[in-house]
Structure 1
Amino acid sequence: MSDQGPPPIMSPRQGDPLQPAIIIYILMGVGIFVPFTALAGVVYAYVERGKDPVLDTHLSFLIRTFWWGFVWIIAGFILAFVLIGFLIWIAWIVWLAVRIITGIQLAQKQQPIQGVEVFGMKAV
């Protein structure tokens, strides 16, 4: 009798090396409505750094997205008292959505992020 154990467990890294980036992009997007998911995403990005050079480009992009978004939110909160803060929050949502969409598209194509364009919104 041949003793075949259970099939090997495949980690996400074996199938798609950019899977952590895609997960973090989704967490950042959900973070618009549930802020703690964005925080979980940035922590996950810091943990996953240094494992793959292409993944690292996405993780650096996501970490910058989180921290710049945090600045936008704080500025919007401060300026909400003079009613311009709400415009800043709308601009932040648009900025974040474009960064997430373009980042996910590059991750699905297995391409690194080489820079940004259109006022830092679009990943290229």
Structure 2
Amino acid sequence: MSDPMTQDPAPYGEPAEKPSGLRSWDAVKLVYVLYLVGFAVPLCALAGVVIAYAKRDEAAPAEASHMAFQIRSFWVGLGAIVLGAVLTLVLVGWLVMAIWAVWAVARFVTGLLKALDGKPVADPDGYGFTA
């Protein structure tokens, strides 16, 4: 009778068991962090949306909800920035940009907190302030 504690569960160099979704959850968290860093270095936000697009097909439903939320946040945010930039000519653009900044930070922080808890986004297609 063999002892399961002394047997090698997998051949050398291969993991015994691959945790499902671990890589996708890491990508979800990375995108949120990149979006937050994007306030200081805008190219980080662009890298974040590229990662979200690249990983969304292999993601489980909970992770896919975050990626859809992240992609929508990027494009709506980009639209708000462009609109705000144009409207700075009539001085209301600064208000548009301030509202966008609060909206974006709220979405990214609440999304990251949900991702850390392993919970899906309730309404990934919505425009609300929270995930």
Q: Establish whether TM, by shorter chain, passes 0.5.
A: yes
Task: Give the structure with higher Rg (CA).
Answer: 2
- What is the match of residue 69 of structure 2? 61
Judge conservation of contact 2:34–2:48 (CA < 8 Å) in 1: yes
Scaled by the length of structure 2, what TM-score is found? Answer: 0.79
- 2:117 pairs, out of 99, 104, 109, with 109
Which SS does the other structure have where 1:23 is aligned?
helix
Letter in 1 for 2:128: G
- What is the match of residue 98 of structure 2? 90
Identity of aligned residues (%): 36
Judge conservation of contact 2:24–2:55 (CA < 8 Å) in 1: no
List gaps (5 residues or longer) in structure 1. none
| Pairs within 5 Å for 1:1-124 | 15=22, 17-51=24-58, 52-115=60-123, 120-123=128-131
Scaled by the length of structure 1, what TM-score is found? Answer: 0.83
- Alpha-carbon offset, residue 53 of structure 1: 1.4
After TM superposition, where is structure 1 displaced by more than 4 Å over at least 4 residues in a row?
4-8, 10-17
1:19-69 Cα offsets, whole Å, 9 max, x none, are 111100010111111111101100000000122211100000000000000
Count of residues paired in the alignment: 118
List gaps (5 residues or longer) in structure 2. 1-10
